[in-house]
Amino acid sequence: SIVDPLLRTGFHFQPPKNWINDPNAPMYYEGWYHFFYQYNPKGAVWGNIVWAHSVSRDLINWEAIETAIEPSIPADQYGCWSGSATTLPDGTPVIMYTGINRPDVNYQVQNVAYPRNRSDPMLREWVKPEHNPIIVPESDINATQFRDPTTAWLASDGQWRLLIGSAAGGGARGAAFVYRSRDFRQWRRVPRPLHSAATGMWECPDFYPAAPGRTVGLDASSAPGRPQVKYVLKNSLDLRRYDYYTVGTYDEKAERYVPDDPAGDEHHLRYDYGNFYASKTFYDPAKKRRVLWGWANESDTRADDVAKGWAGIQAIPRTVWLDFGGKQVIQWPIEEVEALRHQPVTLRDTVIKRGEHVEVTGIQTAQADVEVSFEVSSLLAGAEPLDPALAHDAERLCGARGADVEGGVGPFGLWVLASANLEERTAVFFRVFKAAGSDKPVVLMCTDPTKSSLNPDLYLPTFAGFVDTDLSDGKISLRSLIDRSVVESFGAGGKTCILSRVYPSLAVDKNAHLYVFNNGKADVKVTLLTAWQMKKPLMNGA
């Protein structure tokens, strides 16, 4: 059944039990990575929210330590919601988070907390100064839509800035308000938001600099005013429950951000076209990279969560950077996850013909990392026509042309968490289309979980995103991190990512199989596939 303990993930971040949601205040301090998260200490549903705290040397092996922040002052007595960490110039980390200070409505204010003892690299104890709350909503702001402060950055004028997620226009618009401070204590709002769009409320904004084509990350305070630097603004859409971003420029003087693509807020480029929300990055000074954390909730029922006693995981942390053109974010699992790989098996130069599939054997694949490179030919001659009505809606396109619908070039890809007779299988695949009047192929990446389980009552949405490639060399890669009830996939080197939760009834533990399939008319060649079993890291004592 779905409450099968063997469906619990092995190497994705998770506490031993109970509900978790947003990642909070990720940071690196004195040799340790710190991770906090929204946590219900009393059960497997959302509520009673505190900040749980774990520490790690490598972002993979985790040790749970004391709760960092829980209701204890008037300004947070009904909840300690999401927030971020900022490292002050003297090296002190400070957390700013949203407190709920009224019982009846979710009235939101912002509070700070400081480490009691800076010489403790574990930062076990956090102190809330008397001057909390330090930011309260002014009368023109809806106090129930005013939360999730970002990491602060020092602008060229030497003053701090941070963003708070909010709404405008009676809730119709999402808005990120800028607050300014000299001393991290007195904060004043800049009247106009940094940016705003007609999307509904923005939760958990994130805003950071990045240099196109460079995988090395930038610290938010080192970048303002630097030429060649672009900014990414990410927002979590409360109404639609996904994280989208734009790439643009930050005009410090005007206190404004302008997306390069004027329609960027409507195009909704997403970090992940699957189950991934309330994400947040941090700059890792140890490896000079920017790392993204995101929450993946369950897609079973609430009753199942209660029966399991747990709900929610974090995606594998991802290194993020901008592509050469500065058009989109590229994401790749942090290199440390590769330390969990063992027992590689490979498949080389294997042609998979129309309607065929090949099993990858020799290892257990319920907990695995798979990297595969495909080569396709007869691209435009073979590709199926793109229905113009679906040309801008990847999800509907994939819903209509799923993994079992034969195409021209594709669908081809992986069947993961598959049962021996394929009654259960989750398809992760590409499909190539030809748009009318264009000589560039359109590449779609999908995760189709509709056959993932014989268990009833599961929410099994098909997830999909377009991949920004013209396949000029006919090559495309796919990587999937498979972890019992999660399939986290990276297409074309991390251009398009999809995380999906699935709960097989047969394809569990030793009974999970892995295949490469091709349901297109054109041959597809696997030039190289490597699959590894993944060890279980230390995971919060579970």
DSSP 405-437: S-BSEEEEEEEEEE-TTSSS-EEEEEEEEE-TT
203 lines the binding site for ligand DQQ (CB under 6 A): yes
Nearest distance in Å: CB 264, ligand DQQ: 22
Nearest distance in Å: CB 47, ligand DQQ: 9
Tokens for 293? 């954390």
Given strand 475-483, what is the order of strands in its sheet? 341-352, 524-534, 367-376, 475-483, 486-491, 496-501
219 lines the binding site for ligand DQQ (CB under 6 A): no
Nearest distance in Å: CB 116, ligand DQQ: 24
Tokens for 114? 């400081």
Which member of 22, 300, 483, 523 is catalytic?
22
49 lines the binding site for ligand DQQ (CB under 6 A): yes
Residue among 9, 14, 18, 38 that touches ligand DQQ (CB under 6 A): 38
Between 68 and 278, CB nearer to ligand DQQ: 278
Q: Identify whether the C-beta of residue 530 lies closer than 8 Å to the C-beta of residue 364.
A: no
234 lines the binding site for ligand DQQ (CB under 6 A): no
Nearest distance in Å: CB 43, ligand DQQ: 14
Between 62 and 202, CB nearer to ligand DQQ: 202
Nearest distance in Å: CB 68, ligand DQQ: 15
Rounded distance between C-alpha atoms, residue 134 and residue 453, angstroms: 49
Between 47 and 385, CB nearer to ligand DQQ: 47
278 lines the binding site for ligand DQQ (CB under 6 A): yes
Residue among 40, 54, 82, 150 that touches ligand DQQ (CB under 6 A): 82
98 lines the binding site for ligand DQQ (CB under 6 A): yes
Beta bridge partners of 320: 290, 331
Between 236 and 489, CB nearer to ligand DQQ: 236
Nearest distance in Å: CB 244, ligand DQQ: 14
Residue among 21, 166, 299, 367 that touches ligand DQQ (CB under 6 A): 21
Rounded distance between C-alpha atoms, residue 41 and residue 67, angstroms: 9
78 lines the binding site for ligand DQQ (CB under 6 A): no
Q: Identify whether the C-beta of residue 166 lies closer than 8 Å to the C-beta of residue 142.
A: yes
**Is residue 219 among the annotated active site residues?**
no
22 lines the binding site for ligand DQQ (CB under 6 A): yes
Nearest distance in Å: CB 83, ligand DQQ: 8
**Cis amide prior to 504 (ω within 30 degrees):** no
> What is the per-residue burial (b if ≥16 Cβ within 10 Å, else e) of 305-315?
beebebbbbbb
Find all residues with CB under 8 Å of 81, minimum gap 6, and list them.
38, 49, 97, 98, 99, 100, 108, 147, 148
Rounded distance between C-alpha atoms, residue 513 and residue 518, angstroms: 16
Between 21 and 319, CB nearer to ligand DQQ: 21
Nearest distance in Å: CB 310, ligand DQQ: 16
Closest residue to ligand DQQ, judged by C-beta, is 81
Of 187, 188, 181, residue with least CA distance to 155: 181
494: left (phi over 0), alpha (psi -120 to 50) or beta: left
Q: How many residues of this chain bind ligand DQQ (CB under 6 A)?
A: 14
Find all residues with CB under 8 Å of 136, minimum gap 6, and list them.
109, 110
Residue among 75, 94, 204, 522 that touches ligand DQQ (CB under 6 A): 204
CA distances from residue 448 to 159, 163, 375, 453, 502 in whole angstroms, order as listed: 48, 36, 22, 12, 10
Q: Identify whether the C-beta of residue 248 lies closer than 8 Å to the C-beta of residue 267.
A: no
The 353-372 contact track toward ligand DQQ, x by CB under 6 A, reads --------------------
Between 94 and 330, CB nearer to ligand DQQ: 94
Find all residues with CB under 8 Å of 106, minimum gap 6, and list them.
78, 79, 100, 144
39 lines the binding site for ligand DQQ (CB under 6 A): no
81 lines the binding site for ligand DQQ (CB under 6 A): yes
**Cis amide prior to 411 (ω within 30 degrees):** yes
Between 294 and 411, CB nearer to ligand DQQ: 294
Between 100 and 418, CB nearer to ligand DQQ: 100
Between 134 and 278, CB nearer to ligand DQQ: 278
Nearest distance in Å: CB 277, ligand DQQ: 6
Ranges within 137-196 binding ligand DQQ (CB under 6 A): 147-148
284 lines the binding site for ligand DQQ (CB under 6 A): no
Residue with the two structure tokens 């947040």: 280
- Residue numbers at the binding site for ligand DQQ (CB under 6 A): 21-22, 38, 49, 81-82, 98, 147-148, 203-204, 236, 277-278
Residues with a catalytic annotation lie at 22
